[in-house]
């Protein structure tokens, strides 16, 4: 049985897919005179809570930006710690993820990660493969430009081999070749720590996504903040380039 939702959320108008840029771990730690690694650990605890909340309230897909293709530029010690946290998260949380029927996907090329990470990822993917609850997409070694380029190369190869007629190529066909193929595009993109940029995340998929930015650092982000973001999303008028019905009626009056 799902937990009851706060009054701010309309259960009938939940976003199907929420994407999150989890930013501010390092700054959260530095403000507290702690090592940046402690910010990442606090951020992992936040991730546990948000995954649990999304599962509880009935969100279909949650995509989190965990490690970008650009993050390799960070100090080796920090990257190693992030890899260790990934192993810890998947190992310790797998039982609860299974209990909540969470299905894990990895966006990006995880085969270049350390062997221990690859092994834990493979175990999690296999264990949750048939789960029918929340789809948890973890973006690892992910960059949207590379994702789009690789999809274009794949499609070009299909056309050159005669498997696809170039005249039949459309947006749906191309979207199916992306890491999120078969999933709905994000309805809501949340970014923490106040930065007003997309950071090479899901560039194709967020064409009509509603954006919600908070000054809160990721380790400070709570389920109440998630409810606030969803409430703001539900209050918006999503027109996808058109007009809302009230405005259309006025124009035709």
H or E element that contains 135: strand 135-142
- Per-residue pLDDT, averaged over 39-54, amounts to 98
Which positions ≥6 away from 249 have C-beta within 8 Å? none
Confirm whether 25 is domain-assigned: yes
Condensed to tens digits (0 to 9), the pLDDT of residues 197-210 reads 999 999 999 999 99
CB of 212 within 8 A of CB of 15? no
Say whether 54 sits in a helix, a strand or coil: helix
Domain span at residue 19 reads 12-143+184-236
- pLDDT at 35 > cutoff 50: yes
Count: domains in the chain: 1
Which positions ≥6 away from 101 have C-beta within 8 Å? 55, 131, 132, 133, 134
Q: Which residues are catalytic?
A: 23, 71
Residue 14 Rama label (left phi>0; alpha psi -120 to 50; beta): beta
Render the burial of 6-43: b for 16+ CB within 10 Å, e for the rest.
eeebeeeebbebbbbbbbbbbbbbeeeeeebbbbbbbb
Confirm whether 37 is domain-assigned: yes
Condensed to tens digits (0 to 9), the pLDDT of residues 200-236 reads 999 999 999 999 999 999 999 999 999 999 999 999 9
Confirm whether 77 is domain-assigned: yes
Confirm whether 121 is domain-assigned: yes
- pLDDT at 4 > cutoff 90: no
Q: Tell me the C-alpha distance between 175 and 151, whole Å.
A: 8
Percent of the chain as helix, strand, coil, to the nearest 5:
50, 15, 35
Condensed to tens digits (0 to 9), the pLDDT of residues 78-114 reads 999 999 999 999 999 999 999 999 999 999 999 999 9
- pLDDT at 247 > cutoff 80: no
Helices (H), 161-197: 171-175
- pLDDT at 249 > cutoff 80: no
Q: How many residues does the chain have?
A: 253
C-alpha torsion sign, points 16, 212, 4, 53: positive
CA angle 175, 179, 183 (to 5 degrees): 65
Confirm whether 167 is domain-assigned: no
Confirm whether 1 is domain-assigned: no
Q: What is the CATH number of the domain that holds 139?
A: 3.40.1180.10
Condensed to tens digits (0 to 9), the pLDDT of residues 120-170 reads 999 999 999 999 999 999 999 999 999 999 999 999 999 999 999 999 999
Q: Tell me the C-alpha distance between 124 and 139, whole Å.
A: 14
Confirm whether 214 is domain-assigned: yes
CB of 130 within 8 A of CB of 97? no
């Amino acid at each position: 049985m799902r937990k009851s939702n706060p009054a701010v959320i309309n259960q009938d108008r939940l976003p199907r897919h929420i994407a999150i840029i989890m930013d501010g771990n390092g700054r959260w730690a530095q403000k507290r005179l702690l090592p940046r690694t402690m910010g990442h650990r606090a951020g992992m605890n936040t991730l546990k809570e948000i995954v649990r909340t999304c599962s509880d309230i009935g969100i279909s897909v949650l995509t989190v930006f965990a490690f970008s293709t650009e993050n390799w530029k960070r100090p080796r010690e920090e990257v190693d710690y992030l890899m260790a946290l990934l192993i810890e998260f998947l190992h310790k949380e797998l039982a609860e993820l299974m209990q909540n029927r969470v299905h894990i996907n990895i966006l990006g090329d995880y085969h270049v990660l350390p062997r221990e990470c690859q092994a834990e990822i493979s175990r999690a993917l296999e264990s949750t493969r048939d789960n029918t609850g929340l789809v948890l997409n973890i973006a690892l070694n992910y960059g949207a430009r590379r994702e789009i380029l690789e999809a274009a190369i794949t499609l070009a190869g299909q056309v050159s081999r005669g498997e696809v007629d170039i005249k039949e190529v459309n947006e749906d066909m191309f979207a199916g070749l992306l890491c999120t193929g078969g999933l709905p595009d994000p309805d809501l993109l949340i970014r923490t720590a106040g930065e007003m940029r997309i950071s090479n995340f899901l560039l194709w998929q967020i064409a009509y996504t509603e954006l919600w930015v908070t000054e809160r650092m990721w380790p400070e982000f709570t389920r109440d903040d998630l409810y606030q973001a969803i409430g703001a999303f539900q209050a918006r008028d999503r027109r996808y380039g058109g007009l809302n019905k009230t405005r259309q009626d006025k124009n035709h009056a």
